[in-house]
Amino acid sequence: MGLRANPTYRQRRFGAELRRLREQADLSAQDAASLLGMRQPQLSSIESGRTGLSAERVQLLARTVGSISRTYVDALIDMGQRSGKGWWSEYRHVLGAAHLDLAELEDAAHVVSTYEPMFVPGLLQTREYAAAIHRGGYRQATEAEQLAAVDFRVQRQVVLTGERPPRTHAIIHEAALSGSLGEREVMRGQLLHLIEVSRLPHVTIQVLPFDGPVAFGTGFVMIEPQAPELSTVIVSHIEQSLYLDGADTMAKYRGWFASLAEVALPPVDAEASPQPHATKDSLGLIQRLLYPLL
């Protein structure tokens, strides 16, 4: 089998994790290659994500580390053995690799934590809202590309109602909910959708109000699979989002997210009494923003 020309994020991450294991075991590339019964150039291709490694060899490398989580090793083997195919595959020749990488990460997610200062998170967007965002976005795209991107964003949301939905916690700044995008009906439908999706037992939505502490300026999403060591944080950027990992990085973003959750309004409770809530909780704030759009 030939080497991959353009490894996916999952494939690159698999290789990077193997390199971490080798370094934890204090093995040089040459020593690790000898241990695994291969030449050093082959190991280099594995660590760069350009080819895979069998489950037996992953286990052999893990054993040289000593004390290591069995859950992590099993998850790493699963990461390396996955085909990478799913509903997102049909968009392979239409959208960029980052779209496919995100969908594949979400498909294996156990926990999704997202903070958005300017937009409703993609997993919570209505089709109409997503279409308005793409029509008014800064990136130039054909109508066909825009339609595909909207369809893709809506299709991503099946993860919330699937057999193994991830625990999803979204913190949204009030700024993201205050604009009409030039279409009052679109924003009305989006606000109502947020209230409705909050009824899912595994979904938590909080709003960070204007009159709260200084907002964290950059949106990000943390995607955590069953083995937390394989978690990823994606930091939004207008040109290309950053995919970050590693224990120290994840600890920083978990801490920042926990701080945001602490200062945001209490979560939306769609079952709460319908009387006015002022702005003392997230539902009350959404209701206040919704009222002029009714």
Name which of 262, 116, 265 is nearest 177 in CA terms: 116
**What value, to the nearest 5°, has the Cα angle with vertex 21 and ends 17 and 23?**
115
Give per-residue pLDDT as tens, 224-268.
Answer: 999 999 999 999 877 778 999 999 999 999 999 999 999 999 998
- Domains of the chain in start order, with CATH, are 9-81 (1.10.260.40), 87-293 (3.30.870)
Q: Name the least confident of 45-49, 60-64, 179-183.
A: 179-183
Name which of 56, 25, 28 is nearest 44 in CA terms: 28
| pLDDT score at 293 | 82
Tell whether the model's pLDDT for residue 40 goes beyond 80: yes
Strand duo 111-116 + 220-224: pairing: antiparallel
pLDDT band at 273 (very low <50, low <70, confident <90, very high): low
- On whether the CB atoms of residues 99 and 90 are closer than 8 A, the answer is no
Q: Average pLDDT, stretch 56-60?
A: 96
| pLDDT score at 120 | 96
Q: Average pLDDT, stretch 17-37?
A: 95
Cβ burial of 286 (10 Å; 0-12, 13-18, 19+) is buried
Tell whether the model's pLDDT for residue 91 goes beyond 90: yes
- On whether the CB atoms of residues 216 and 181 are closer than 8 A, the answer is no
Cβ burial of 72 (10 Å; 0-12, 13-18, 19+) is middle
Give the max Cα distance, the chain. Answer: 70
Tell whether the model's pLDDT for residue 100 goes beyond 70: yes
Q: What percent of the chain has pLDDT over 90?
A: 76
Q: What percent of the chain has pLDDT over 70?
A: 95
Q: Average pLDDT, stretch 107-136?
A: 94
Q: How far is the first Cα of the chain from the last one, in angstroms, to the nearest whole number?
A: 60
Tell whether the model's pLDDT for residue 278 goes beyond 50: no
CA Rg value for the chain: 21
Q: Average pLDDT, stretch 131-154?
A: 83
